Amino acid sequence: MERRPVNRKNGVTSDHIIDVTHKGKTLRLRRVRYHDAETGKRYQFLTNHFRLSAKTIADIYKDRWQIEIFFREIKQNLRIKSFVGNTENAVRIQIYTALTVYLLLAYQKFLSRIGMSVQQIFQILSLNLLGSDTLDELLK
């Protein structure tokens, strides 16, 4: 529908207003194409934000992807399968708690100089939560 001017020096290669039709309904969107000079990757973003600059749109979506990666790492490494609360404070408390446990286990791994991963130590502790053995006894 419309081509907007872009500054190719900042990585934005195109900025278009498009119409997408599906099942008889038309939706007006903005398509921003971006080339990341650091990685060499090319991205295409669809959005309904028409007032922001194309570079701002690209930066927002790139940062959003980093946030997605961060949460995936937390869920995999910190064993957070789901969040108990949905408020910002509840999510922060759960992440801080999981990070604290992970750091304590990593420190214990460092102190004991054993060849186990932090995940293996976590599994041993999980299986022996109600036992009376000390952590040193469990790791030996």
Note the pLDDT tens digit of each residue in 59-118: 888 888 888 887 777 677 776 777 788 888 988 888 888 888 888 888 888 888 888 888
The encoded tokens of residue 131 equal 């036992």
The encoded tokens of residue 46 equal 């669809």
Average pLDDT over residues 9-29: 90
pTM for the full model?
A: 0.51
**What per-residue confidence (pLDDT) applies to 130?**
84
Task: State how far the Cα of 5 lies from the Cα of 20, in Å rounded to an integer.
Answer: 21
Kind of pairing between the strands at 2-3 and 12-22: antiparallel
The mean pLDDT value of the chain amounts to 84
Is 65:82 a contact under the CB 8 Å cutoff?
no
